[in-house]
């Protein structure tokens, strides 16, 4: 029984990491249709923010709590910079955006390599995250629980922001009908930029969280970007709940398959499962119905 519960927790934990990495993408890719390959490097920037903050403030707990908002701002600012300089010109060419942002991601990686060095660095986790909670016969590492909680907070904050605030209403209006939103006096330029700020900021938060489960290196983001895109695709474009379901679904699947096979075969099987799933639901879990032929 403890095996199953342990599997379940491993899956949920992996799912929460995937979710953090994919949540920002569900905004920039899902809502705006921008394929931002540099998203992984925003994650990496968040992780290095945590590293830098810890160099300044040696207390691990304070630095972690401070890193989360700072990582959000760093990721967000990078995103806005990218949007304002390049992506703004290319909204009508989504495929080309992919290649351009890949170029950006190459450059950001090299910048990180030149600044921090190619070997990975470690960010110390605070003492209160190092133990584990005992629940019946299952050991739950507190660090993993913290990430799970952080993911839940991010999803809740994003959902509330999109649904109940003026800002969220403007962002949704812009996505749903750009021209009509404009005639109602909404600055769609500003909406785009804000959406990109939030989406990229969430990547930064994900980066801070990732320092708790592994070391930080300039190539940190490349390991997550493919999975994060898969989550958004499987979840369905433009729906936060789809992304949440897909992240935990893929996390659980990966953890279960890893248990019975090896990590690499599990990865391949997860991919095949996504392709098979898209056979049944080509637009992901939650598809926005439309009659458009585009």
Partner 1 sequence: MNILTERPNAGASRWAGAIPASVFVVLALALLVGAPQVLSSFRLSLLARFCCYAMVALGIGLAWGRGGMLTLGQGLFFGLGAYLMAMHLKLADAGQGQVPDFMLLYGDGKVPGWWEPFRSPILTLVAIPLVPGLVALILGLAVFKRRVKGAYFTILSQALAAAFAIFLVGQQTTTGGTNGLNGFRSFFGYALNDPVNKATLYYIAAATLLVMIAGMWFLYRSRYNELLIAVRDGEERVRFLGYDPANVKVFAYVVAAVLAGIGGALFVPIAGIISPADVGVLPSIGFLIGVAIGGRHTLLGPVLGTIGVAAAQNTLSESFPSFWTYFQGALFIVVVAFLPGGLAQLTGTLRRRRPASTASAAAHNPTPARESTG
List the one residue from 81, 135, 180, 275 that touches partner 1 (CB under 8 A): 275
Q: Where are the alpha helices (DSSP H) in the chain?
A: 2-25, 39-56, 60-85, 94-116, 142-164, 166-176, 178-183, 188-210, 222-235, 240-260, 263-280
Minimum distance, C-beta of residue 26 to partner 1, in the bound complex (Å): 13
d(CA 82, CA 24): 15
Minimum distance, C-beta of residue 218 to partner 1, in the bound complex (Å): 10
Closer to partner 1 by Cβ: residue 126 or 223: 223
d(CA 196, CA 194): 5
List the one residue from 90, 173, 186, 287 that touches partner 1 (CB under 8 A): 90
Q: Tell me: does residue 21 bind partner 1 (CB under 8 A).
A: no
Closer to partner 1 by Cβ: residue 255 or 270: 270
Counting residues that bind partner 1 (by CB under 8 A) gives 42
Taking CA 197 as the corner, what is the angle to CA 192 and CA 200, rounded to the nearest 5 degrees?
120
Q: Tell me: does residue 115 bind partner 1 (CB under 8 A).
A: no
Letters for 251-270 (x = contact with partner 1 by CB under 8 A, - = none) are -----------xxxx-xx-x
List the one residue from 5, 7, 33, 73 that touches partner 1 (CB under 8 A): 33
Closer to partner 1 by Cβ: residue 64 or 203: 203
d(CA 151, CA 10): 15
Q: Which residues of 225-237 are buried (b: 16+ CB within 10 A; e: fewer)?
A: bebbbbbbbbbbb
Q: Tell me: does residue 6 bind partner 1 (CB under 8 A).
A: no
For every residue of 217-282, DSSP letters joined together read -TTTTHHHHHHHHHHHHHH-TT-HHHHHHHHHHHHHHHHHHHHHS-HHHHHHHHHHHHHHHHHH-T
d(CA 70, CA 55): 14
Letters for 125-144 (x = contact with partner 1 by CB under 8 A, - = none) are --------------------
Q: Tell me: does residue 293 bind partner 1 (CB under 8 A).
A: yes
* Window 196-235: residues binding partner 1 (CB under 8 A): 222, 226, 229-230, 233
Closer to partner 1 by Cβ: residue 63 or 97: 97
Span interacting with partner 1, options 61-69, 93-101, 132-140, 249-257, rule CB under 8 A: 93-101
Minimum distance, C-beta of residue 5 to partner 1, in the bound complex (Å): 27
d(CA 248, CA 271): 15
Closer to partner 1 by Cβ: residue 108 or 155: 108
List the one residue from 8, 98, 121, 142 that touches partner 1 (CB under 8 A): 98
d(CA 197, CA 194): 5
d(CA 24, CA 13): 18
Enumerate residues 6+ apart whose C-beta is below 8 A from 59. 126
Closer to partner 1 by Cβ: residue 93 or 190: 93
- Which residues are at the interface with partner 1 (CB under 8 A)? 29, 33, 35, 86, 89-90, 93-96, 98-100, 102-107, 109-110, 113-114, 222, 226, 229-230, 233, 262-265, 267-268, 270-271, 274-275, 278-279, 282, 293
């Amino acid at each position: 029984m403890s095996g199953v519960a342990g599997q379940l927790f491993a899956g949920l934990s992996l799912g929460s990491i995937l979710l953090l990495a994919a949540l920002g993408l569900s905004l920039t890719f899902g809502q705006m249709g921008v394929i931002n390959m540099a998203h992984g490097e925003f994650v990496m920037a968040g992780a290095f923010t945590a590293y830098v903050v810890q160099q300044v403030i040696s207390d691990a707990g304070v630095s972690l709590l401070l890193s989360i908002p700072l990582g959000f701002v760093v990721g967000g600012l990078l995103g806005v910079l990218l949007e304002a300089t390049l992506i703004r010109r290319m909204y009508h060419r989504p495929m080309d955006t992919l290649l351009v942002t890949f170029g950006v991601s190459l450059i950001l990686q090299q910048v990180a390599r030149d600044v921090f060095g190619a070997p990975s660095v470690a960010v110390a986790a605070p003492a209160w995250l190092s133990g584990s909670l005992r629940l019946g016969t299952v050991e739950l590492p507190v660090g993993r629980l913290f990430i799970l909680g952080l993911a839940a907070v991010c999803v809740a904050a994003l959902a509330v922001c999109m649904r109940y605030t003026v800002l969220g209403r403007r962002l949704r209006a812009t996505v749903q009908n750009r021209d009509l939103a404009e005639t109602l006096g909404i600055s769609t330029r500003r909406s785009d930029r804000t959406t990109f700020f939030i989406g990229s900021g969430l990547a930064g938060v994900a980066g801070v969280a990732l320092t708790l489960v592994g070391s930080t290196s300039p190539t940190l983001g490349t390991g997550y970007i493919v999975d994060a895109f898969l989550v958004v695709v499987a979840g369905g474009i433009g729906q936060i709940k789809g992304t949440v379901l897909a992240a935990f679904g893929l996390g659980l699947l990966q953890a279960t398959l890893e248990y019975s096979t090896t990590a690499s075969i599990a990865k391949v099987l997860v991919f095949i499962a996504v392709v098979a799933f898209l056979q049944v639901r080509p637009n992901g879990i939650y598809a926005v119905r439309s009659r458009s032929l585009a």
